[in-house]
Amino acid sequence: MMMAAANFSLFTFHSSLALPLLLGWFADLIFGDPQRLPHPVVWFGRLISFGEHRLNKGTHRKLKGAVMAVSLILFVFVATYLVRYGLSFLPQLNTDFHGFLSESIRVNPMLILFDAVVVFYCLAGTTLIREVRAVFLALDRSLDEGRRQVARIVGRDTSELSAQEVRTAALETLAENLSDGVIAPLFWFALLGTPGMLAYKMVNTLDSMIGYRTERYLAFGCWAAHIDDIANYIPARLTAMLMVVASGRISLFTFVRKYGRAHASPNSGYPEAALAGILNCRFGGPHYYFGQLFPKPYIGTNDRPLTTDDMKTAVRINRTAEVLLVLLVVLLRSIW
């Protein structure tokens, strides 16, 4: 009976998406986002820009935006599914474990490689941490340099930010993008494999490009924003839970419940509240986007100065939360 269990465990590990997940995740840990290689998100952005410039005019903008958003998401999911389906017909290799188990295991190396590459491209944990560290290092040199550096990772106007506001913006982004760039892709990977993971990246790219409440995007980007809210509803709350668990301070769940809703977004407040509670600081407040002031409530009450040590703590929490979910998804995908 123990031998049968071992056979099942190793077979499902190879035939499921657990192995590609680990390969892609380790690649992200080592390399981060590739700077000189074509990236799917860049292609997604070009498709969205192409559609937006041709459809976001005249009447029925909300309907046209909805059709474009849904069509692009379905296109990415179906295209990825068909690529995987085609690769499944390629020759498989026998992995001989006769010395340990009672039968060989057949693997499809091209399918494993494809899924691993998708995971690598969809995870943004290492690049996010590098960018946030760079903000704090730049700020140590000068305020102007810190403002320019944080502008790389936030959508708000950074030209008038104080040093405290620059650090706050970087840490808010670290928490929010742990959800968008790591936890949510892993969540959809666990549910729908690599087609779901890439489709989620299209959802997220649509929201980041047209999901704004500005005059230009209010109607056209409405559906993109709502779809993103739905896609991130569970991942955002899961992110906050993992961060609290990573901190070892379970009592912070009360803080997260209190301040998680204190955000213009129905989701972003939860990871931000988790990090604000862990650091005992204050996030949120009004910000400028595209020249317009957007009032936002505060998350937390302790408006204390943030330091490089806070950034190091936040990075450690991010990495721990990421590892926890990767291990959980590997376990699920190994037995699913």
pLDDT at 290: 58
Can you give the pLDDT at residue 36? Answer: 74
Q: Give the model's pLDDT for residue 101.
A: 45
What average pLDDT is seen over the chain?
Answer: 89
What mean pLDDT comes out for the span 260-281? 93
SS (H, E, C) the chain: CHHHHHHHHHHHHHHCCHHHHHHHHHHHHHHCCCCCCCCHHHHHHHHHHHHHHHHCCCCCHHHHHHHHHHHHHHHHHHHHHHHHHHHCCCCCEEECCCCCCCCCEEECHHHHHHHHHHHHHHCCHHHHHHHHHHHHHHHHHCHHHHHHHHCCCCCCCCCCCCHHHHHHHHHHHHHHHHHHHHHHHHHHHHHHHHHHHHHHHHHHHHHHHHCCCCCCCCCCCHHHHHHHHHHHHHHHHHHHHHHHHHHCCCCHHHHHHHHCCCCCCCCCHHHHHHHHHHHCCCEECCEEECCEEECCCEECCCCCCCCHHHHHHHHHHHHHHHHHHHHHHHHHHHHC
Any idea how long the chain is?
336
What is the rounded average pLDDT of the residues 160-166? 92
Of residues 212 and 84, the one with the higher pLDDT is 84
Report pLDDT for 95: 62
Candidate from 135-139, 217-221, 283-287, 310-314 with smallest mean pLDDT: 283-287
> Binning pLDDT at 50, 70 and 90, where does residue 296 land?
confident
% of the chain residues with pLDDT over 70: 89
What percentage of the chain exceeds 90 in pLDDT? Answer: 76
When pLDDT is averaged across residues 225-244 and rounded to a whole number, the result is 98
Chain segment 58-105, per-residue pLDDT in tens: 999 999 999 999 999 999 999 999 999 999 998 887 665 444 444 556
Structural domain boundaries enclosing 27? 2-335
Q: What is the per-residue pLDDT for 1?
A: 43
Given this model, what pLDDT does residue 8 score? 41
Residue indicated by tokens 């035939």: 15
Using the predicted structure, report yes or no on whether residue 259 has a pLDDT greater than 50. Answer: yes
pLDDT reading at 271 higher than 60: yes
Q: Is the pLDDT assigned to residue 164 strictly greater than 80? A: yes
Question: 22 and 123 in contact (C-beta within 8 Å)?
Answer: no
Q: CA neighbours within 13 Å on the CB side: how many for 2? A: 1
| Residue type, position 330, single letter | V
Is the model's pLDDT at 11 over the cut of 60? no
Q: How far is CA 49 from the centre of its chain?
A: 21
What's the pLDDT score for residue 106?
A: 72
CB burial of 68-105 (b: ≥16 within 10 Å; e: otherwise) equals bbeebbeebbeebbebbeebeeeeeeeeebeeebeeeb
- Kindly report which listed range (130-134, 270-274, 283-287, 292-296) carries the lowest average pLDDT score: 292-296
The beta-carbon contacts of 281-286 under 8 Å, at least 24 apart in sequence, are 281/168, 281/171, 281/306, 281/310, 282/168, 283/168, 283/171, 283/172, 283/175, 284/172
Least confident of 128-137, 194-203, 213-222, 287-296: 287-296
- For residue 224, what pLDDT is reported? 97
Do 77 and 195 meet the contact criterion of CB atoms below 8 Å apart? Answer: yes
What confidence tier does 131 reach under pLDDT thresholds 50, 70, 90? very high
Task: Kindly tell me if the per-residue pLDDT of 13 is higher than 60.
Answer: no
pLDDT at 228 over 50: yes
* Tally of domains within the chain: 1
Separation CA 9–CA 148 (nearest Å): 50
Calculate mean pLDDT across residues 15-26.
87
Confidence of residue 16 (pLDDT cuts 50, 70, 90): low
Which of 18-27, 48-57, 103-112, 121-130 is predicted with the least confidence, judged by mean pLDDT? 103-112
Nearest-CA neighbor of 284 among 187, 202, 172, 208? 172
Residue 330: the pLDDT is: 92
Q: Give the pLDDT of residue 273.
A: 97
For residue 33, count other CB atoms closer than 10 A to its CB. Answer: 18
